[in-house]
Amino acid sequence: MKDALSEFENESAKEADKFNWKEFEDKNITIYRWFQYILDLGSSSFPPEKSKELDKIKSDMSLIYSKAKICSYRSKKKCDLGLEEDLRKILLTSRNYEELKYIWKEWRDTTNKKLKKMFLQYLQLSNEMARSEGFKDYGDKMKSEESVKDVEVDKLMEQIKPLYKQIHAYTRRKLIQHYGAKYIRPDGPIPAHILGHMFSQQWAQVFDILNPFSKSASPDVSAEMQRRKMKPIEMFKIAEEFFTSIGMQPMTADFWQKSVIEKPKDKDMVCHASAWNLHDGKDYRIKMCTQVNMGEFVTVHHEMGHIQYYQEYAHLPVAFQHGANTGFHEAVGDTVALSVSTPTHLKKIKLLKNFSTNSNSDIAFLLKMALEKVVFLPSSYIYDSWRWKVFSGEIPQKVMNTQWWKMRNKYEGLCPPVRRTDDDLDPLSKYHVATDTFYFRYFVGHLLQFQFHKALCKESGHKGPLHTCDIYQSKKAGKLFSKMLRLGSLVPWKEALSVITKNETDELSADPLLEYFEPLYKWLKERNRNEFIGWKSSDPTVCPEATDSEGEGADEPIYIEARIEYDDEETDE
Ligand code: X8Z
Ligand code: ZN
């Protein structure tokens, strides 16, 4: 099948190359982009046997990753815990420092051990393949992706940093209050395993610990979803209803028949959520081992956003049935979820009860959103910036893991709870690294979704702060969204962005995100006024506490003072 496709692509390219297409003056016109697509033969000049070898390594890595299991901390005889179904649940609910540390380490050790050798082969072969296509290395090829082009990454990271540091300082103090002095220094990095997520990329899972107010101010509806015994299918139906309420398309009959939205009991399955386009105009599918909680409810919207995009651009030639860039694809469902997550909306759909909106609940809501969205930005940035450097050789093999932790320290202020060495290769514990999936798209998607949200809110006639906007039932907003999505990859992404912003900007920007979180930023600066902002650490490969388990700095006066000073649980207004 793959050979037949390559043959067809080679023939088409040969035919297309007979035209003098490179002489077109306007490089952005459809026909030029079409030629570019047909002639982008990827690895066709790479020797077929090497290409097969690389494909085999990649598929073996995916398979091994999807089957990886570890033993339970509570019962060492139970050794069938998988990442998405079991470990995710434990990370969400366990507040036992040692159990979390055990799981964190086991998952890394297991995946590293199984995948490291293959990753090194993949590294070499991917570089050879990329060079056969005229790139300097595979990282160079990754960087040529549309979503990376014309993006001022460093500037964006700088813009986000002050807000991130405030969130970090606040979180650290709350975690110290919860777990105690011997684990976390008040001016140090945060141990990566106690943030409720295997990769610490979102911290909203520990909102119970971080909530500055009483439980009643929590905008998390997980408990209500579980109390109602909600089924995954209901979560999907609610998501579909949101999209149709703004005039977008319902899911097809094939979608409901062929999607897998719960983990089959008798089968191993790649549980990482994904959306599929079978390109026949009706067969679209989602594969997801849905759990019933609010985080998963957002992921359902995320995945359905991919399907919405597929449906919107289905009228175009196959060459243009793609997102304007991959970041756009990641942003569609998340944009809608920004409305869905507002307390106002959750009340409308009766998932949030007895919740009064006031300045405290506003801050609680914004904090929870920041723990999902802002925290994610440095995390999503480093996966690929690390890979780009690994592929180029700027990070040599013998220090790949140390450099990884240096980056996690520098950009995220996180540290590993147990010492990591260069025998380990921790990025491999992440699905996207083990399966050769580029990650920068999520960084772009997380900024774009706030740009889309702002544009759609304006179109819907929303008045008031951006974080209170809910575009539910706004056909006007839906129409503008569709207008952009229907373009697929027909035009360069900047043009697509201009459509939704009505020419206000064609740049990827952090401004709407910063505007959204402005009230939280002010509140955090006030709350953190006596806090050390930032983090110090001399060794990024282990948390300070892990080297001196008695906590060399744990009982230092500075911490005790801090504790007395800030142990001030706020009450609701
Ligand atoms: O991989 C995903 C989606 C599928 S495109 C579930 N996401 C990233 C991740 O899980 O790491 C969504 C957010 C980031
Ligand atoms: Zn996605």
Cα 215 to middle of ligand 2, angstroms: 31
Q: Which residue among 289, 302, 379, 447 is best mutated to probe the pocket of ligand 1, counting the most ligand atoms within 8 A of its Cβ?
A: 302
Q: Is the CB of 299 under 6 A from ligand 1?
A: yes
**C-alpha dist (Å) from residue 157 to 151, 327, 381, 409, 496:** 11, 16, 9, 15, 23
Q: Say what the pLDDT of residue 1 is.
A: 57
Q: Which residue among 147, 198, 272 is best mutated to probe the pocket of ligand 1, counting the most ligand atoms within 8 A of its Cβ?
A: 272
Q: Ligand 1: which residue has its CA nearest to atom 14? A: 442
Q: Which amino acid is at 367?
A: L
Q: Is the CB of 274 under 6 A from ligand 1?
A: yes
Q: Is the CB of 449 under 6 A from ligand 1?
A: no
Q: Say what the pLDDT of residue 41 is.
A: 67
301 given a catalytic annotation: no
Outline where DSSP puts E strands in 95-207.
190-191
Cα 87 to middle of ligand 2, angstroms: 21
Q: Say what the pLDDT of residue 209 is.
A: 96
Query: CA 11, CA 540: separation in Å to the nearest integer?
Result: 52
Q: Say what the pLDDT of residue 415 is.
A: 97
Q: Token match 């979820």: residue?
A: 337
Q: Which residue among 197, 330, 440, 443 is best mutated to probe the pocket of ligand 1, counting the most ligand atoms within 8 A of its Cβ?
A: 330
Residue tagged active-site, from 168, 193, 306, 329:
306
CA 199 to ligand 1: nearest atom: 11
Per-residue pLDDT tens, the chain, 573 aa: give them.
Answer: 566 777 777 788 788 878 887 787 777 778 888 888 887 766 667 898 999 999 999 999 999 999 999 999 999 899 999 999 899 999 999 999 999 999 999 999 999 999 999 999 999 999 999 999 899 999 999 999 887 888 999 999 999 999 999 999 999 999 999 998 889 999 999 999 999 999 999 999 999 999 999 877 788 999 999 999 999 999 999 999 999 999 999 999 999 999 999 999 888 788 999 999 999 999 999 999 999 999 999 999 999 999 999 999 999 999 999 999 999 999 999 999 999 999 999 999 999 987 888 889 999 999 999 999 999 999 999 999 999 999 999 999 999 999 999 999 999 999 999 999 999 999 999 999 999 999 999 999 999 999 999 999 999 999 999 999 999 999 999 999 999 999 999 999 999 999 999 999 999 999 999 999 999 999 999 999 999 999 998 899 999 864 444 433 333 322 222 222 333 345 443
Burial of 234 (0-12, 13-18, 19+ CB in 10 A): middle
302 given a catalytic annotation: yes
Q: Say what the pLDDT of residue 512 is.
A: 98
**C-alpha dist (Å) from residue 534 to 162, 411, 530:** 9, 10, 12
Cα 327 to middle of ligand 1, angstroms: 11
Q: HEC profile for 341-370?
A: CCHHHHHHCCCCCCCCCCHHHHHHHHHHHH
49 given a catalytic annotation: no
Q: Which amino acid is at 194?
A: I
Find the distance separating the first CA and the last CA of the chain, reported in whole Å: 65
Q: β-pairing, 284-287 with 274-277?
A: antiparallel
